[in-house]
Amino acid sequence: MNFARDLRMTAARSLLVGALLLAASCAGGAVVKPGVQPAYPSDPGALTVVGAENFYADVLHQIGGGKVKVYSFLSDPNADPHQYESNAADARAVADARLVIENGLGYDAFMDRLLKASPSSNRVVINVQSLAGAENGSNAHLWYDPTVMPRVAAAAAAALERLDPTHSDLYTTGLAAFNSRERAVDDEVAALKARYAGAPIAFTEPVAGYLAGAIGLSVKSPMEFMKAVEEGNDPPSAAVAEEENLLRNHEVKVLLYNSQTVTKLTAQVKDVATASHVPVVGVSETEPPGTTFQDWQLAQLKALEAALSS
């Protein structure tokens, strides 16, 4: 009886994965990617977890180390995260996961479909939008808010301790280490705020909007321009002219440029900044390979500090 039941469950899961793969292909004609591999080494018998974006996966790894087998989907530094489409390998990882961190705010809407396709009463889902209390329509780049990631880390550690109490001490230690590294980011934000609060800046799109707010920088870019660029639309010509005049007239001290989602228009704006001798600081949407969340944020903050001081 158990053997027959297992066969039925295996067949059902295969049908589910096939359906998700077909849906993804029909939706965008995407080429099927190879199977998703764990993002970090793990011990035998490790708890399967998913961080939809690689910075959330990094949080899970920093807390759980080898006791968690971490999968992540949005990690390619050369890809536009907004164009991502899930596939069968993603579906398998989510189906096996005991803990999932998703961003929300429509940034990783594919995760909701994957979770609904393989429901489980034994899975904990951390939706960062809900955790942060962000209303629909808010800036989706929640990980750039210095107050959010420590809350994500605390929620992840609590979930891991509940799911795997045998290693609760390890998760407590991992959380403490995460928070210790995060203090360097907080200190740099505080130092920049003390020195540069009120400084005028421009964005191509507000990827680091929460970070700029924490520092107290004054964003001068027209909202119509930033919103259109973020949504992949053409801004009104008047908004483009206003953005470029900010740079030509040196009304801003720095241009924060999304280095991961580049269009003809944003490249044009960057060229205007360069020609006008306005410093340009690139910010990315996903964590660069071979680094940690804190080191990534610190590198961008140091680049911003250098630009503001020039």
234 shares a domain with 125: no
Give the start-end residues of each E strand in the chain.
47-53, 68-74, 99-102, 124-127, 200-203, 218-219, 255-258, 280-283
106 located within any domain: yes
Is 63 in the same domain as 118? Answer: yes
Q: What is the pLDDT of residue 35?
A: 58
* Cβ-contact 256, 204 below 8 angstroms: yes
Whether 229 and 211 have beta carbons less than 8 Å apart is answered as no
The count of domains in the chain is 2
CA 42 to chain centre: 22
Percentage of the chain lying above the pLDDT 70 cut: 89
Q: How far apart are CA 245 and CA 196, in angstroms?
A: 22
Domain end (from 184, 206, 236)? 184
Q: In residues, how long is the chain?
A: 310
Contact yes or no for 218/243 (Cβ under 8 A): no
Task: Indicate the residue among 161, 184, 207 that finishes a domain.
Answer: 184
- This model's pTM is above 0.85: yes
Question: Tokens standing for 280?
Answer: 């340009």
**Given this model, what pLDDT does residue 30 score?**
32
| Residue 88 sits in the same domain as residue 144 | yes
> Helix-strand-coil percent breakdown of the chain, rounded to 5?
55, 10, 35
The rounded distance, in Å, linking the Cα atoms of 245 and 256 is: 15
Among the candidates 184, 205, 238, a domain finishes at 184
* Average pLDDT value over all residues in the chain: 90
Q: Give the pLDDT of residue 150.
A: 98
Q: Taking 70 as the threshold, does the pLDDT of residue 13 lie above it? A: no
Residue 23 sits in the same domain as residue 141: yes
**One domain for residues 53 and 180:** yes
CB 293 within 8 A of CB 287: yes
Name the 3-class secondary structure at 252. Answer: coil
Q: What is the pLDDT of residues 259-304, one digit of tens each?
A: 998 999 999 999 999 999 999 999 999 999 999 999 999 999 999 9
Q: Where are the alpha helices (DSSP H) in 52-208?
A: 54-64, 88-96, 109-117, 128-132, 148-163, 168-196
> Which residues, at least 6 apart from 100, have a Cβ–Cβ distance to it below 8 Å?
49, 50, 51, 52, 94, 111, 115, 123, 124, 125, 126
- Least confident stretch, 13-17, 180-184, 191-195, 284-288: 13-17
Locate tokens 């993002």: which residue?
A: 39
Query: Do both 113 and 91 map to the same domain?
Result: yes
Confirm whether 11 is domain-assigned: no
Residue 14 resides in a domain: no
Same domain, yes or no: 24 and 171: yes
Residue 5 located in a structural domain: no
Q: What is the CATH number of the domain that holds 233?
A: 3.40.50.1980
Does residue 192 belong to any structural domain of this protein?
no
Residues 136 and 88 in one domain: yes
Whole-number pLDDT of residue 289: 92
Is residue 189 situated within a structural domain? Answer: no
Domain that holds residue 237: 197-308
121-154 pLDDT, tens digit each: 999 999 999 999 999 999 999 999 999 999 999 9
Q: Are residues 177 and 218 in the same domain?
A: no
Same domain, yes or no, for 33 and 180?
A: yes
pLDDT bin (cut points 50, 70, 90) of residue 20 is very low
Q: What is the CA radius of gyration of the chain?
A: 21
Are 146 and 245 part of one and the same domain? no
In-domain check, residue 235 = yes
Distance of CA 23 to the CA centre of its chain: 24
pLDDT digits 0-9 by tens, 188-209: 999 999 999 999 999 999 999 9
pLDDT digits (tens, 9 = 90+) for 62-110: 999 999 999 999 988 777 777 788 889 999 999 999 999 999 999 999 9
Domain shared by 119 and 28, yes or no: yes
Residue 177, Cα to own-chain centre: how many angstroms? 21
Question: Is 10 part of a structural domain of the chain?
Answer: no
CA neighbor of 207 nearest in space, from 80, 76, 58, 72: 80
